[in-house]
Amino acid sequence: MRVTDHLAAEAGKTLVSFEILPPLKGGSIKTIFKTLDPLMEFKPPFIDVTYHREEYIYKKMPSGYYEKASIRKRPGTVGICFGIMTRYQVEAIPHLICGGFTKEDTENVLIELNFLDIKNVLALRGDADKFEGKFTPTHAGHTYAIDLVKQINNMNAGKYLDDNIENGEATDFCIGIAGYPEKHFESPNLDLDLEYTKAKVAAGASYIVTQMFFDNTRYFEYVEKCREGGITVPIIPGLKPITRKYQLNSIPRNFYVNLPVELVKSLEASTTDAQAKEVGIEWCIAQSQELKAAGVPCLHYYTMGDEPTTTRIARAIF
């Protein structure tokens, strides 16, 4: 079932969804099930599985020279999605990224997903390679998420990359995209960022999942701006609890989001990680309560594999 159908079927209710990361290469899918088994008590209609592009490492060779090698540290997104759907009978949403993929690669993944009856995807550009200052499109790949949205939408109309394919099967993907209440870090301003978001919706995206935020006002203002600008699709807030003191700095640095003064002060006053975690969890619970009371369509939690924390928060809300 499409995400938008789930949201429509339970309109007026706040659903819950979780996002997980594939295990590091060599790890087992059992770690995913260990995280998700307890979370199923909250009846999430869908689970997101992130996609991780290849990374380059420099290996020292016996000659003393270094060789550049490509590795994918967290492979397995598609397999995990199928495993989740089979085990829990819920929708699994693979994230698809532009970086590291040719259009042909993308088409082949979409064909696999269609054959596996995976009906939902989150279309993203992905971040720059660790060694690059800015995102560089892969040769014969896409530059922006909108190009990926268009490709998926074309397949939904039975249009494949090869013009010789006639009567290609029309897929039925429900396409989600990312949104940034505090604007995407590369964007000169929020208005321009929203123009591109609006273009992604016009190209076929049906819903938005937001970047994490720690001040609900940012989300409410973002939704208002989207509506004023003619973006009418559901906007699902993404939430992540702070669980370590160092995240006071690492979260703003890595995700380009602001932390409210009150939260910062409480974290600074924490002398241990355990105290900081309490602060983070209570903050996330308060955010969730306010968002639910405001009638958001769904609360989407970035679990980072931390099931006990996610369970505690979800139990306080659902």
Binding site for ligand FAD (CB under 6 A): 50-51, 53, 95, 97, 124-127, 144-146, 178, 184, 186-187, 193, 196, 209, 211, 238
Nearer to ligand FAD, 176 or 280 (CB): 176
Nearer to ligand FAD, 52 or 245 (CB): 52
Q: In the complex, what is the shortest distance from the CB of residue 33 to ligand FAD, in angstroms, rounded to a whole number? A: 20
- Is the sign of the CA dihedral 252, 255, 260, 262 positive or negative? negative
Nearer to ligand FAD, 57 or 170 (CB): 57
Q: In the complex, what is the shortest distance from the CB of residue 219 to ligand FAD, in angstroms, rounded to a whole number? A: 12
Residue type, 149: V
Q: In the complex, what is the shortest distance from the CB of residue 183 to ligand FAD, in angstroms, rounded to a whole number? A: 8
Instruction: Please check whether residue 77 is in contact with residue 95, taking contact to mean a CB–CB distance below 8 angstroms.
Output: yes
Q: In the complex, what is the shortest distance from the CB of residue 238 to ligand FAD, in angstroms, rounded to a whole number? A: 5
Nearer to ligand FAD, 240 or 277 (CB): 240
Nearer to ligand FAD, 207 or 283 (CB): 207
Nearer to ligand FAD, 258 or 275 (CB): 258
Long-range contacts, stretch 110-116, CB < 8 angstroms, 24+ apart = 110/151, 110/152, 110/155, 110/171, 110/173, 112/78, 113/78, 113/81, 113/173, 114/155, 114/169, 114/171, 114/173, 116/78, 116/81, 116/82, 116/85
Pairing assessment for the beta strands 174-179 and 91-97 based on DSSP bridges: unpaired
Q: In the complex, what is the shortest distance from the CB of residue 167 to ligand FAD, in angstroms, rounded to a whole number? A: 31
Q: In the complex, what is the shortest distance from the CB of residue 54 to ligand FAD, in angstroms, rounded to a whole number? A: 11
In order, the DSSP letters of 48-96 are: EE-----EEEEEEPTTS-EEEEEE-SS--HHHHHHHHHHHH-SEEEEEE
